[in-house]
Amino acid sequence: MTATALTLLAVLAVVPVVLGRFTRTAPPWRTIALAAGMIVVLGVAAVFALGTDRVTGVPAVITYFLVALVAVTGGTAMVRGALVTGGIPPWRSPGDGSEDVAGDDAESVGADRARTPPPAGTPPAADAATSPDERRDPSIAPLRGGRVIGYLERLVVVGALATHWPEAIAIAMAVKGLGRYPELREPGAAEQFIIGTFASVIWAAAAAGVGQILVR
């Protein structure tokens, strides 16, 4: 059963990377289906983990490695699925030439809106009436790196639970909230921040839980 549980974790680490790009241009239900399917597979892995003896040595190292990968790669699909379920598109339409807006950290959408240039043909007077912050170069973001922040956030969750120091999660969330505060004033940014963060943290905690069952 240990081998089966580890195999399922390996599948969860790879599938989001392979299928994630395809869901961008697919109907929204496929994004939700991918996230739901991953939850089911993780649950099955937990069931198999419950029926195993405690893993030690090399298998334990492999377990920690796979759990970290599952948390990082799977979190992207979970955040996108949560956003689509909540009626928030995690990326812009493919026809507008934009890149993935939410990545796996949904609050990046607010930052993207903040640096969107004014529409073509905007009267100079209207531009002059805006504040210096609103006239900032659209290529300069007040806070960038949402995808990397999401990866690091989930690694912190896994590490905190593995070392039995859950307080580290609260510290990471506080730092993240303070850093994103200026962007949270953008319309809709707070909702995206909350949904993205909760989906990311819950998935990472669930993955870490399966790992803890195996190495208990």
Q: Measured between alpha carbons, how far is residue 175 from residues 24, 76, 120 in Å?
A: 30, 20, 37
Give residue-wise pLDDT tens across range 9-55.
999 999 988 887 777 777 888 889 999 999 999 999 999 989 888 88
Q: State the CB neighbour count (10 A cutoff) for residue 191.
A: 18
pTM: 0.74
The more confidently predicted of residues 60 and 189 is 60
Estimate the crossing angle of helix 2-24 against helix 189-215, to 10 degrees.
Answer: 160
Name the 3-class secondary structure at 3.
Answer: helix
pLDDT at 98: 30
Indicate the pLDDT class of residue 205, thresholds 50, 70 and 90.
very high
Domain locations in the chain?
2-215
pLDDT at 97: 32
pLDDT for 110 beyond 70: no
In the chain, the amino acid numbered 159 is G
